[in-house]
Structure 1
């Protein structure tokens, strides 16, 4: 489903890109539906269902994490949030940091894939090395951790001093937080491109090395427990349970930014 205002030329660019990525990943497009509809708008357009075929022991799901596994995060939080906001509203970035930072901020957009991350992890052995993988989409890092814990019937303990966030992502989040006067926890923000994985302890160092060799930042941020909750251990040793976020801040930032810019007579 496409926005009414999308031109044929814009659609050609979009579909050419989809075709190129499918060719690169060996994906066959079997069927589809294309049309322009009212009520459909940026930044999200379209959707797809993908089906893969493999053997019974060559896949993992979020329900396969086990107590004792270590938890790995790639790239850090809010990748999708920063990438989309920078691309949609470059004026906000330019006002905050100058035009020279806009291109760097917009380059975050291209980090929105976990394919390299997942393929790298798969090399160490599915189930024998990697037990679960899940991308950090809605509700970000905490949402992904909650999904894995809920699906696997386990708990997860996360250590604050092991968490990290990219400097460019943090600058983007801070810019939009200040612009909209909305306080944002980056770890609750949608982050397509970030992979959360659980691995056997004896494989963790190898996983981190392989990821970093590919230029992918990664860290062991915690461990799987026998509990049924998500616990954050603060740097001072204090522990508290992390609830599932009630709302993803991306949408608050997006629509508040849109409203402010429209009130100024523009949307870019």
Structure 2
């Protein structure tokens, strides 16, 4: 198989198929488009998500915190704690670990999350540092938001701009390859995108307003996340390419490396399906809080399409993320 997430068909045929034992307390189980598990704790539920950081070198400490907390936020809940596992290659120094932990602590403090445990190890099983985090949140049972609730007629809202995380990673880790192709100021500004990786704030706000479905945009990029949201809800989706916001820095970097910004890893972006009645309130709330929000399409019956230059193209399941084509 190719580098990146295990393909959807393999997840269904092998991974999910072999998860056989069930417990009644589990309310949300593994599925396409579902990044969180939900466990019944009576009036409350425990929401958990785990993710590794494998595609970045610099900023790995902060990214590791945000990526799993973003998943929990996609259920409309505030994460409260993170467990962190660090697998570091032979030759890692105390200074390397100190830098990573200071980054992680700073990121955790920025979203009011505590690092509550984990594991750290030097091992020859990896040739660069790999960090996996598991985030935990608590939520009232009647306030649950999942990826499965999208309904025909819902508007699709995305926050921020496509390719956000991938742009920041490339600018930080591949600066030497970009020099001579892109203005230094553009690279510097693109690195700054890492400050917008968290979607915890918009996830909590959307949960309070009551969206029907929510999914943070990670590997596979914006189009991959939209396909997963539609797949989880078993609905169609119609997305208008010309409405999708892409920053000039992302366009310049993607053009220089011949990659597609719409299929580039985009932590920091949240996509939501919301009823027409709540759509404007959601957008106004985000804008009041300084979060850019754009309506880019709608949930429909049947087909899943991207409308590009008035031509309807089939929206395919996510494959290898564009980031892995260049790192």
Distance verdict in 2 for CA 1:215–1:6, change over 3 Å: farther
Q: 2-side partners of 1:3 and 1:120: how far apart?
A: 40
SS in 2 for 1:121: helix
Judged with a 3 Å threshold, the aligned counterparts in structure 2 of structure 1 residues 105 and 161 are, in CA distance, closer, same or farther, namely: closer
Is structure 2 residue 254 aligned with structure 1 residue 140? no
Question: Take 2:109 and 2:289, find their aligned partners in 1: how far apart are those partners?
Answer: 21
Whichever structure has more helix as a proportion of its residues is 1
Deviation track 1:204-262 (CA, whole Å, cap 9, x = no partner) reads: 222222223333322111111122x42122332x32311113321210111xxxxxxxx
Cα gap change, 1:25 to 1:100, in 2 (>3 Å): closer
Verify the 8 A CA contact 1:74 1:194 in the aligned structure 2.
Answer: yes
CA distance in 2, matches of 1:98, 1:166: 15
Deviation at 1:41, TM superposition (A): 4.7
- Kindly report which structure 2 residues correspond to 1:1-268, keeping only aligned pairs within 5 A, or say none: 1-41=87-127, 45-123=130-208, 125-126=209-210, 130-177=211-258, 184-227=259-302, 229-236=303-310, 238-254=311-327
Rounded Cα–Cα distance in structure 1 between residues aligned with 2:125 and 2:222: 29
Shift of 1:66: 1.4
SS in 2 for 1:57: helix
| CA distance in 2: counterparts of 1:2 and 1:20, whole angstroms | 20
TM-score (norm 1): 0.82
Do the aligned partners of 2:227 and 2:315 also contact (CA within 8 Å) in 1? no
TM superposition score normalised by structure 2 = 0.68
Equivalent position of 2:53 in the other structure = none
Aligned counterparts of 2:115 and 2:205: Cα–Cα separation in 1 = 25
Provide the C-alpha distance between the structure 2 equivalents of 1:165 and 1:59, rounded to a whole number of angstroms: 31
User: SS at 2:251's partner residue?
Assistant: helix
Identify the residue that residue 24 of structure 2 maps to in structure 1.
none
Give the root-mean-square deviation of aligned CA atoms. Answer: 2.0
Q: Distance in 2 between matches of 1:203 and 1:99?
A: 42
> What is the distance in 2 between the residues matched to 1:4 and 1:122?
43
**CA distance in 2 between partners of 1:12 and 1:110 (Å):** 20
Give the 3-state SS of the residue equivalent to 1:105 in structure 2: helix
Which runs of 5 or more structure 1 residues have no equivalent in the other structure?
178-183, 255-268
CA contact (8 A) 1:105 1:168 kept: yes
